[in-house]
Structures are given as structure tokens and as C-alpha cells.
Amino acid sequence: MFGKLIHKIKSQFEPRLATVEPLGETFEVASDQTLLQGALAAGLAFPHHCTVGTCGNCKCRLTRGDVRSLIDASLTLTPAELADGYILACQCLLKSEVSVDVELNDDSEASVPAKCMGTIVATEHLTHDIMKVSAEIDRPMTFRAGQFADIGLPGFARHRSYSFANAPVDGGTRQLEFMVRNVSGGEYTQWLFAQDRRGERFELHGPQGSFWLRPADVPILCVAGGSGMAPLLSILEDCLNKNIERPVAFFFGARQTHDLYCLQQLESIRQQWASEFRFIPVLSEEPEPSAWTGARGMVTQFLDRDYAGFDIDASHAYLCGPPPMIDAALARLQSCGLGTKHIHYDKFLDSRQLEVSKNGVT
């Protein structure tokens, strides 16, 4: 009996096996390693970013075995995702051998994240609180449309993440564009909006993230708010370059007409699109006595066939913007019958929200 107890204690500290499907790759995970740490140590291109359970990039579906989560995953994953067996690889220790279903990063179109230096070459105010920042980096970078980079400024202790707003170029590009929202109390944005920052140098680490267009012959549903427009413009411009012919419905949530931007760029995309392309701006706080004749309310109220032009459950959805909008859109799309596997999202957390998430404060 004593021997069985010793064996049980020893087994708790032995490495366990994890298998990644559909690749079928199996690797060991030490007892003090998270699933993500074990996968990266084995050389797998497992999607991830923050490593503290807030971004959701490392989510995967547990199909066999048992894990112990280090945090309350419901702070990041939706109830539907939890019900489907999704876990956060960066926050899970293995209690047994496991199998997980995850789409590993494919570096055929995007380079492995690396550091380089860049210079701000131009800025343009798109709205009262959205600025387009054009930069030139010291060496060409390849990335997938929809990805982002971590930006570091001299004198600031922490990096911030910003999505590429321009389409990638074969062979890489040194010209990058970002869209930055002015966040009250945000160190980076207060610095950026304070004065002309042309000529300022910065450090860039990228590309990052697993938010990109999945190949399929189904309609594309886009939902964005604020600076969440950036990665979707990158994806749509890239689709034009690649002659992708899929119906698109792009829902954009804003407060008032002065919060709408890139309308000419979107109209140009619509005119060149080979299939049907719908852009549906929705204003939540536009005064009644105004010339606005478009949709009013919350953008998620309009996610249906009448506005999209196709069945929601037969599409792939790409969501970008603030967490409340993303959460509401996820619930709406799932109620329309769209499976979580076909919903891809990128929550734009500002520095204050990141601190709240990391500290576990609600």
C-alpha cells in the first residue's frame, strides 16, 4: 500500500504526453510546464501571444484527457467555447495524457517573429481619436494580413500591440501602417497624440497573432469597432491582390458620423470586389435630428441575413474591436448557428484593460 502511494506521488511529477491534432504530433510536457510551454519547447509553432491568459490566441479544444487551469478561463473564453471544450494552452497543466485540436501557425506566408527598428514617417488624423501612423522599418518584413506587431518606445517599460493596416507584399515590405486610437490615460497614445512624432524611432517585434483569413469557399462576415478596422482592411486589401471572390458583409460599429473613417478606401474595395460586398456602418449615439439615414443602435443587432445578404451560419466570421463588442457579437453569431470553430476574433485591450485582466479584477 505504501509502495502504491509512492508510485502515485512520483507519477504526479513525471512528464505527460500531449498530441496536437490534426497534425498528429506528440510531445512531452513536464509537470511544471503549461501545455504551451511544452509545445514551444518541442519546436511546434503553437499560436500564442500574451502567455498570461488574456489574449485568447492560444485557445485550443481539448479532445482527450484532463488538465488543470491556472486561471478562471471564463474571463477570456466564451460560455460556448468552454462548453465545446476549449482551453487556454498557456494556463493549463496536464493531469493526464491529452489530445488537443488546434490550427498551428503556418510560416509559409509569415516570418518567424523577430525584432527590428523603425521610424515614424507620417501621421494622419482619421477621426478625433483615430490616427493613421505610417512607418518604415530597417529591413523587409513578411506577415499575414490580420496579424499585429509589438511596438516598444524609448523610455517606456512595456510594449503595446498594434495590427498592420496595410496588405502584405510578396518578399516582404519595409512600409507599414497602423491605426491607433487615443485612449484616455494610455501612455503610448498620449505620447503619440501630444505632438508631431515624425522621425521618432521605435522597436518592433513581429509578426504576431493567428488572426488571418482561413481558406474556404464561404462568405466572409466582418465586424469591427474603433481601430479594429485596421486588420480587416489589411485582410480585404490582401483578398483583392489575390483575386479572392467571396461575398463580404462588413459591419462597423461607431458612435456618431464623425467616428466613421476610411469610407473612400472601403468604397474603392467594394467597386473592385468580384463578388457582392456590403459595408454596413451602425451608429449607436447619433443625434436624432441629423442627416444620417443608416442603421442606428448596437452593431450586433444587425447581424442577420437581411443586412449581410447571406446566411450567417454558412459564413466565416472575423471580429476586431473592444471586448464588449466582441463578446456581444460572439453571442449573437452563435445564436444564429455559427459554430465557434468558424469565428475568429481579436480583442483590442488597452493598457488599463490588460492590467485588470492580469490582476484578475472584474
Beta bridge partners of 222: 250, 318
**pLDDT beyond 70 at 110:** no
Domain final position from 77, 101, 125: 101
224 and 333 co-located in one domain: yes
Segments forming the whole domain that contains residue 293: 220-349
Residue 107 lies in a domain: no
Residue-wise pLDDT tens digits, 65-95: 999 999 998 888 888 889 889 999 999 999 9
Q: Residue 354 — very low, low, confident or very high, per pLDDT cuts 50/70/90? A: very low
Q: What is the pLDDT of residue 162?
A: 94
In a domain, 191, yes or no: yes
Cβ contact 349:228 at 8 Å = no
| 243 & 305 share domain | yes
Task: Return the pLDDT at 307.
Answer: 96
Q: Rounded distance, CA 162 to CA 320, Å?
A: 12
- Residues 255 and 194 both lie in one domain: no
Q: How many Cα atoms are found within 13 Å in the side-chain-facing hemisphere of 28?
A: 6
Regarding whether 90 and 15 lie in a shared domain, the answer is: yes
Is residue 360 in some structural domain? no
Cα separation of 228 and 226, whole Å?
Answer: 5
- Range with lowest mean pLDDT among 270-279, 311-320, 340-349: 340-349
Q: What percent of the chain has pLDDT over 70?
A: 90
The b-or-e profile of 330-357 (16+ CB within 10 A means b, else e) is bebbbebebebebbbbbbbbbeeebeeb
pTM of the model: 0.84
In a shared domain, residues 92 and 15 = yes
What CATH number does the domain containing 46 carry? 3.10.20.30
Segment 111-137 mean pLDDT? 94
* Domain tally, the chain: 3
Are the C-beta atoms of 348 and 320 separated by less than 8 Å?
Answer: yes
Mean pLDDT of the chain: 89
Residues 225 and 330 in one domain: yes
Across the range 143-153, mean pLDDT stands at 94
Average pLDDT over residues 300-309: 96
